[in-house]
Structure 1
Amino acid sequence: MNVRRTLPALLTAALALSACDIPATGVVEAGEPATGVLAPPGATPVPKETPAVPVATVPLYFVSGGSLVAVPRALPGGAELGNTVLMLFKGPDAGERERGLTTELPPTGAAPTIRTDGASVTVELPPAAAGLNDTAVDQLACTVAGARLRQDPELGSAQVTVEQPGGRLAGRSSEDCPGLPTALPAPAEPPG
């Protein structure tokens, strides 16, 4: 290899590249990196499958004529107790209000703290829900009891304690809730 011929060629190439106004700044971040694969022209996109969100029907307890009424409500996320209680605190929907259903529970943006221990459930109310009357406590306790039995039908019954700010406690059993069976049937086993 002839160094005398190669060196001038390399210097000429280096000078030519340095004249291109390419800054020597290193990597410059600009937007998100390219992702995915482009479909060929005229191809029909294939929709992605979204995972199914579990839905459970749980009884929400509202008031009609001074009595509790169980209203079945389909809730996304299953019979999760926190979501069920938040839905109850939102009150009856438009259709339920048209049917005369009301609530004794105050609207609240803060979720209560819920603790479970088998068939026992404790609902600790936030300060915004202080001073509930007996009907409101019944609404809450029966709704939580119904949701707990949907979570675990083998329990047979649920005991709910409502702790209000100021230390007032109220307890209810699912067996005292209108419209809740004393024991829900266990899920059917697949034929073997």
Structure 2
Amino acid sequence: MTRPLCRAALLIVGAALALSGCGIPSTGVVEAGGPASGITATTPLYFVQDGALVAIRRAVPEAGDAAAAIEEMLQGPDVVERSRGVTTRVARTSGPGSLFPADGTVEPGATVFPSAAATEAAAEPVRATAEGDRVSVVLPRGVKAERSALAERQLICTAGRAYRMALRDTAPVTVTVTAADGARAEGTDQDCPDP
């Protein structure tokens, strides 16, 4: 065998050995519709950074469920996200008073003392119904949203992009959000930033 052929053969054998021991376990048979073991589905949740909407991927218990995605978004940005300047214009409150200061952001670590009525309101779930390419979201009492286009886009983009995962379609999803006080917002997820 010539020297270049020997080197090529050694490289191929070495590469095959390296790839065969890369440490990724086989998953075996996976039920239809379920992700392979070790892979967690993530959903884009929308927050605000530097005055603009930003998508952050999070593991949500039920991928494709708009209500579950909104519930996760209502928990707000985590410590790492807040350290990078990520804020929210929508949050679940647990007591009287506003978590929204004059600039519209939720104060990280704000302490609120819950009343019995506020604790009951905080336990109410977000409701969402979907049909075709439309999603209707009803926010419970205890959810505080700034009256702004950014707050509306946070809700619309989070619900629309979550539902799109179940829809498996590229057409825009139209989302209608109704607050507990009856205020409504409607829009599509067409211009939502990608994660």
Cα distance, 1:112–1:73 mapped onto 2, change above 3 Å: same
Q: What are the within-5 Å matches in structure 2 for residues 1-192 of structure 1? A: 55-108=40-93, 109=122, 110-129=124-143, 132-134=146-148, 135-154=150-169, 156-179=171-194
Q: CA deviation at 1:152?
A: 1.4
Q: CA deviation at 1:54?
A: 8.0
Partner SS state of residue 175, structure 2: strand
Amino acid at match of 1:167: G
Number of residue pairs the alignment of both structures matches? 130
Q: CA deviation at 1:174?
A: 0.8
Instruction: Indicate the structure (1 or 2) with the bigger Cα radius of gyration.
Output: 1
Q: CA deviation at 1:65?
A: 1.3
Q: CA deviation at 1:158?
A: 0.4
Partner SS state of residue 58, structure 2: strand
Amino acid at match of 2:45: L
Greater mean deviation of Cα atoms: 157-166 or 107-116: 107-116
Q: CA deviation at 1:93?
A: 1.2
Partner SS state of residue 176, structure 1: coil
> Identical aligned pairs, as a percentage?
33
Structure 2 unaligned spans of 5+: 1-30, 32-36, 94-121
Cα distance, 1:90–1:154 mapped onto 2, change above 3 Å: same
Amino acid at match of 1:66: G
**Is 1:53–1:77's contact at 8 Å kept on the other side of the alignment?**
no
Structure 1 unaligned spans of 5+: 1-50, 181-192
Please report the TM-score for the alignment, with normalisation by the length of structure 2: 0.60
CA offsets, 1:45-102, max 9 Å, x none? xxxxxx9698421110010111100111122332322221111000011111111101
Partner SS state of residue 111, structure 1: coil
Q: Distance in 1 between matches of 2:145 and 2:163?
A: 24
Q: Distance in 1 between matches of 2:84 and 2:178?
A: 31
- The structure showing larger relative contact order (alpha-carbon pairs under 8 Å, at least 6 residues apart) is 2
Q: Distance in 2 between matches of 1:89 and 1:54?
A: 24
